[in-house]
Amino acid sequence: MLGKKEINEHGHLVIGGCDVVQLAQEFGTPLYLFDETLLRENMRFYRQSFERLYPDYAVAYASKAFICSAMCRMVAEEGLFLDVVSGGEYYIARSSGFPADRIIFHGNNKTAQERELVLREGIGRWVVDSEAELEVLIEEAKNYRNGKLPLLFRLTPGIDPHTHQYITTGKIDSKFGLPIVGGVAREVMKKALAFPQFELRGVHCHIGSQIDSLEPFLKACEVMLEFMFQFWKETDFLLEELDLGGGLGVPYLDEQKDQFPSISEYVEAITGKVRAWCEEHSFPLPRLIVEPGRSIVNTAGNTVYRVGTVKEIPGIKKYVAVDGGMTDNPRPVLYGARYQALVANRMHDRSRERVSVVGKCCESGDVIIPEIELPRVLPGDILVVEGTGAYNHTMASNYNMIPRPGVVFVKDGKAKLVVRPESLSDLIRRDVLPGD
């Protein structure tokens, strides 16, 4: 099992002190269920690890992994910054009361509306992604409400993190960022120095996601520090901040548990590397920023389904269909992502059969787990797919007009509904009948 889970006297799965079978009855299925203690613990692991090892840092939670108003509140309470990549994420954060000066604003194609919103309300760091964006900002930032606009520049350091190609983002051939090669990034940044409306704070990179080793992060530290050092020598301007993005991977299956560095190993490695490099080159220690998403939320999240149709094709396969699917978890279809599951209402059942867990969408590719050994599954059973905290709720769709699930936080035996499940009427909320 992933995360902290127990089994009670009824043989039911317990998360955050709550009986998952009862939660399924109370809140309905499918349902995203988050262990609040684990969420907070992971945020604290990041902060405490930095606190022990490095003088000046910020941990910015990457909200694209999982966002809702209650999550933004929690991130604010835990003293983290927030990484947003759209006006939508910014809006949710601000509506929950998240302080603007702790928000980092990303995007490779920020729209006029998004820029206007953020410049109106304020921002902690604005991450410039391209020369074209800088050109637009030269005009638009003139009347920034808080004086100088604090900028980071996103660079592509040319590193392959050896992860799925769709979530590889730091190679030179990328839609994100300014390439380090050929002096492109350097020239664009030099240009920004000439404008008084900007406060040039530092550089950013994000090499990819679900990365299973420390080596690509260490390489990124080196390349980025080398860039900062050269920039200093050439311009006499010291870039004070280095934002290394997110990307630390996590196990999705029990058998992968030893295959990923822990949060503290990751923080130890990057802070050690930065310290050693700076000492060797007599370069002032920069302020370090990281933007973890998945490693904070994934293991804390689970999806609770009810089993419907069970279909056996003799000698070939048994299909177990649940009341959700690729609409609440598109990751298997998109990335071939793997998951494991539990039968929450019969945790002591030792019978085993090989099945394929599928969804209810009108697509043969709507498979959540192609092959898994489970206790003999019956219609009505409660099936929990583990490790769905990241990029599930935020990537869910209404395909086949299936309402999206609600979100419940559990902690110390108490359950809080933090996103209500969509209703059928939500599905027509934005419809306009011609003539009305």
Ligand X SMILES: N[C@@H](CCCC[NH3+])C(=O)O
Contact positions toward ligand PLP, by CB under 6 A?
62, 64-65, 83, 106, 206, 209, 245-248, 291-295, 390
Is there a binding annotation on residue 291? yes
Q: Is 175 exposed, middle or buried (0-12, 13-18, 19+ CB in 10 A)?
A: exposed
Which of these is catalytic: 68, 72, 205, 362?
Answer: 362
Contacts of 185 (CB under 8 A, 6+ apart): 153, 155, 177, 178, 179, 203, 227
Between 96 and 209, CB nearer to ligand X: 209
Distances (CA, A) of 96 to 30, 71, 76, 302: 25, 9, 9, 24
Closest separation in Å from C-beta 251 to ligand PLP: 14
Q: Where are the beta strands (DSSP E) in 226-300?
A: 241-243, 287-290
Is there a binding annotation on residue 234? no
Closest residue by beta carbon to ligand X: 391
Q: Where are the beta strands (DSSP E) in 1-132?
A: 5-7, 13-15, 18-19, 31-35, 57-62, 81-84, 103-105, 125-128
Is there a binding annotation on residue 11? no
Q: Give the chain's largest Cα–Cα span.
A: 74
Closest separation in Å from C-beta 425 to ligand PLP: 33
Closest separation in Å from C-beta 209 to ligand X: 4
Between 49 and 209, CB nearer to ligand PLP: 209
Closest separation in Å from C-beta 203 to ligand X: 18
Is there a binding annotation on residue 57? no
For tokens 């990029």, name the residue.
Answer: 391
Instruction: Calculate ∠ Cα 76-92-390, nearest 5°.
Output: 75
* Among ligand PLP, ligand X, none, partner that 331 touches (CB below 5 to 8 angstroms by kind): ligand X
* Among ligand X, ligand PLP, none, partner that 156 touches (CB below 5 to 8 angstroms by kind): none
Return d(Cα 126, Cα 141) in angstroms, integer: 11
Contacts of 61 (CB under 8 A, 6+ apart): 43, 75, 80, 81, 82, 83, 291, 292, 293, 296
Is there a binding annotation on residue 266? no
Q: In the annotation, is 362 catalytic?
A: yes
Closest separation in Å from C-beta 123 to ligand PLP: 15
Is there a binding annotation on residue 292? yes
* Chain contacts with ligand X (rule: CB under 6 A): 64, 167, 169, 209-210, 331, 335, 391
Catalytic residues: 362
Binding residues for pyridoxal 5'-phosphate, by number, are 247, 291-294, 391
Binding residues for substrate, by number, are 294, 331, 335, 363, 391
Binding residues, by number, are 247, 291-294, 331, 335, 363, 391
